[in-house]
């Protein structure tokens, strides 16, 4: 089941505390020929926005040309997610979702705290509709 897979990725990253050759091999078993893509996303960065006082949390992956909104373990606003997961149903996740899970486990994301009134700015920057 997908939730179990994501939990395994999270636990393995948390246990390892580092991305080494063994962890990369593990990634290759679950995301064949795409582990380097996940590592590229991790290098570009994951941002966790926390809005106060509501404590709303929004995850964003830095893409090559734009940022992608992530609902952890569920959705990513990238084109690959739309094409490969939603339309073609080839996979159940994208590289950004895996990168978010790994960065959360390793606490290797950038934390940004903003006031609730700034949430609409993020949505506008991501060109999404609320």
Over residues 3-44, the pLDDT tens digits come to 899 999 999 999 999 999 999 999 999 888 889 999 999 999
The structure's pTM equals 0.91
Number of H helices, E strands in the chain: 6, 5
| pLDDT value of position 64 | 86
**CA Rg value for the chain:** 15
Q: Is the pLDDT of residue 45 over 70?
A: yes
Domain coverage including residue 46: 2-125
Using CA atoms, how far residue 74 sits from 20, 47, 69, 81, in Å, is 26, 17, 11, 10
If pLDDT is split at 50, 70 and 90, which confidence band does 130 have? Answer: very low
- Please check whether residue 84 lies inside any domain of the structure: yes
What pLDDT, on a 0 to 100 scale, did the predictor assign at position 128? 59
- The Cα 57–Cα 62 span in angstroms is 16
The 10s digit of each residue's pLDDT in 61-106 is 998 888 999 999 999 999 999 999 999 999 999 999 999 999 999 9
Q: How confident is the model at residue 56 (pLDDT cuts 50, 70, 90)?
A: very high
What total of structural domains would you count in the chain?
A: 1
- Gap between the Cα atoms of 20 and 82, Å rounded: 30
Look at residue 98 and tell me if it is in a domain: yes
Greatest Cα-to-Cα distance within the chain, rounded to the nearest angstrom: 43
**Predicted confidence (pLDDT) at residue 129 exceeds the cutoff of 60:** no
Query: Does 73 map to a domain?
Result: yes
Residue 130 covered by a domain:
no
> Does residue 57 belong to any structural domain of this protein?
yes
């Amino acid at each position: 089941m997908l939730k179990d897979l994501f939990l395994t990725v999270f636990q393995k990253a948390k246990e390892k505390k580092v991305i080494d050759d063994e962890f990369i091999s593990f990634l290759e078993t679950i995301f064949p020929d795409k582990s380097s893509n996940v590592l590229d996303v991790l290098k570009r960065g994951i941002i966790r926005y926390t809005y106060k006082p509501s404590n709303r949390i929004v995850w964003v992956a830095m893409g090559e040309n734009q940022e992608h909104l992530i609902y952890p373990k569920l959705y990513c606003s990238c084109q690959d997610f739309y094409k490969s997961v939603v339309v073609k149903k080839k996979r159940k996740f994208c590289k950004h979702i895996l990168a978010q899970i790994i960065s959360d486990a390793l606490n290797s994301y950038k934390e940004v705290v903003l006031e609730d009134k700034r949430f609409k700015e993020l949505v506008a920057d991501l060109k999404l509709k609320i």
